[in-house]
Amino acid sequence: MSKSIEAMWKQGFVNEGELSAPKVNDLYNQKSQNIVDKLQAMFALNIKAIIIGCAVMFVVMTMIGAPLLGGYICLLVSPLIYIAKRELNKSYDLSKGQSSLDYLQNFDLWLKSSIAAYGAYYRVAYPLLYLGMVTQAIVSQAGHKVLALCLTQLPTDYVLFDVPYYLWLVILLVFVVVVRYSEAIYRFDLNVVYGRQFKKLEELIADMRELKGV
């Protein structure tokens, strides 16, 4: 199919560099809209999954005796839901009264801007999530048992909030790693979920640019 479309494209140029073959334009218009629609549907589904997952997680955390951590995580997730809805609405507002190539390029620019906005959020959210989990671990009954065991096996007089200094060093080291690689972790997760569709979008834009001589 792609080879036949390319052949039709090469035969369809007019004086101003646009294509005169309506069938070819229709094929690319449909292909362009399909990939945009699919990405928007995936983004919308992801928002619903975050909201449902947040509610379920709060119930589960409450059942296991950590309601404060559950509420804390839901509070952290709230800005993400706001950002996700705001960015998705921006994609719906992109003008479709232009060529398929222009529309896809504008959608790609929006996508990169959206990813940057998410990246800024995760650079803060992941470290805060880590701190919340560490705090919960320290104050929990299981955490107290672990701390007592550590002090028994590796006794020390340097203790802060019942936590030996060597555990604080480990906690600090992991925190630095989380801060350093928060955005990289987000982009890895993003690529796992949306990587194939992003690649299709890039390939479609590259093909249209090449065939139009842009």
19 has a pLDDT exceeding 50? no
Could you tell me which of 81, 15, 72 has the C-alpha nearest to residue 52?
81
pLDDT at 26: 64
pLDDT at 8: 46
Side-chain-facing half-sphere of 51: CA atoms under 13 Å: 11
Q: What pTM did the predictor assign?
A: 0.78
Average pLDDT over residues 122-129: 94
pLDDT at 64: 86
DSSP string, 87-110: HHHHHHTS--SS-HHHHHHHHHHH
pLDDT at 23: 56
Could you tell me the residue ranges of all domains in the chain? Answer: 2-212
Sorted by sequence, the CB contacts under 8 Å of residue 199 that are 6+ apart come out as none
Average pLDDT over residues 197-201: 91
Rg (CA), the chain: 25
Alpha carbon distance 54, 31 (integer Å): 35
Average pLDDT over residues 33-38: 87
Average pLDDT over residues 65-75: 91
User: Reduced to 3 states, what is the DSSP secondary structure of residue 13?
Assistant: strand
